[in-house]
């Protein structure tokens, strides 16, 4: 087995600024931690500002002098997404990285976003689609500056990037265009698998559209393998089920990936000079479930279906009212 990329291979990130959705815990926190450790300014964009502030305090203790900021962002509310994006666009600091990390995993009962979308599709897919489109002008401005001024990081031109965090669960996913919101027969796992397939397809479609436009922005995707994060716990999980899910998480951490290990593919996509536009990365051990490293990941055939990706993109535009590229 070849040696994959690890955080030991990560170049300094001084001068770069990253927004990480769901950066207060799990993979998002460890992504923010390593970016900060390597000199980047990080913004923890989280549904709970209080939890984000706690995470920022903890991160500051691990990385003294870290440049870390917090912001409230509820991806289950397009109003919140618009508000966050407007505030970000008004800030003078550049934006180099948008890491679409936050996610909801398989609530046992069907729940809805503020706009009435099924919670997983609305949060994991539509929230990030809208956020990416609204922040694209700022990423384009940064790309123009990097190209024009020749800004370098460790001797490399590190252009702005959008990173979608998908999942190996995408391999079992199907886009239910006749019922994207699972209004007729809700399945927690099928809805999650659909959302992660959609995330990967949107990352690829964004890359195609950026290349067609001649943009220098990179669109990439990653998956963490199977890692123990609080993604497996929602407010719907209580009592015995919550205890069992917590226990399962501890077992997964010992047998499969930790949150820190699961963040490595995301960090590769965000920071490695060798990451390719339209690339998809994950760990390589035990059928891509563990490893603490990053290599090109396997892509299920449906994720490469460009016709369905175009249809998905149009559906996201119609549902969010946000059109770009």
Handedness of CA 20, 24, 27, 30 (dihedral sign): positive
Q: What DSSP string runs through 293-321?
A: SBEEPP--GGGG-HHHHHHHHHHHHHHH-
Q: Which residues pair with 43 in a beta bridge?
A: 19, 69
- Total residues found in the chain within this entry: 325
Tokens 């949060």 label which residue?
123
274: number of Cβ within 10 Å: 10
* 3-state SS assignment for residue 257: strand
Q: Count CA within 13 A, CB hemisphere, residue 6.
A: 9
Burial string for 171-206 (b: 16+ CB within 10 Å, else e) reads bebebbeeebbbeeebebebbbbbbbbbbbbbbbbb
Residues identified as active-site: 192
Residues 6+ apart with CB under 8 A from 200: 164, 166, 170, 221, 280, 299, 303
Residues 6+ apart with CB under 8 A from 50: none
* 3-state SS assignment for residue 254: helix
144: number of Cβ within 10 Å: 13
């Amino acid at each position: 087995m070849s040696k994959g990329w690890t955080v030991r291979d990560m170049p300094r990130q001084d001068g770069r600024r990253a927004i990480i959705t769901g950066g207060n815990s799990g993979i998002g926190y460890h992504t923010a931690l390593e970016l900060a450790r390597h000199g980047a300014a990080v913004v923890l964009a989280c549904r709970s500002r209080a939890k984000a502030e706690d995470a920022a305090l903890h991160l500051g203790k691990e990385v003294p002098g870290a440049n870390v900021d917090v912001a409230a962002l509820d991806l289950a509310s397009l109003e919140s997404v618009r508000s966050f994006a407007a505030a970000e666009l008004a800030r003078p600091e550049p934006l180099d990285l948008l890491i679409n990390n936050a996610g909801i995993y398989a609530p046992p009962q069907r729940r809805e976003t503020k706009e009435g979308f099924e919670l997983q599709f609305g949060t994991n897919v539509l929230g990030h689609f809208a956020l990416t489109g609204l922040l694209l002008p700022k990423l384009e401005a940064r790309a123009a500056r990097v190209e024009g001024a020749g800004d370098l990081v460790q001797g490399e031109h590190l252009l702005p990037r959008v990173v979608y965090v998908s999942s190996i669960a995408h391999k079992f996913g199907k886009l239910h265009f006749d019922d994207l919101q699972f209004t007729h027969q809700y399945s927690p796992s099928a809805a999650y698998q659909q959302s992660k397939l959609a995330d990967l397809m949107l990352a690829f479609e964004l890359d195609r559209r950026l290349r067609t436009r001649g943009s220098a922005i990179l669109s990439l995707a990653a998956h963490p393998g199977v890692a123990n994060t609080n993604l497996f716990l929602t407010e719907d999980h209580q009592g015995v089920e919550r205890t069992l899910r917590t226990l399962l998480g501890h077992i997964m951490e010992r047998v499969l990936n930790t949150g820190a290990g699961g963040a490595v593919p995301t960090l590769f996509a965000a920071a490695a000079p060798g990451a390719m536009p339209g690339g998809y990365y994950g760990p390589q051990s035990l059928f891509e479930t563990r490893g603490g490293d990053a290599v090109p990941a396997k892509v299920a055939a449906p994720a490469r279906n460009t016709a369905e990706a175009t249809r998905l993109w149009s559906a996201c535009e119609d549902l969010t009212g946000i059109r770009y590229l």
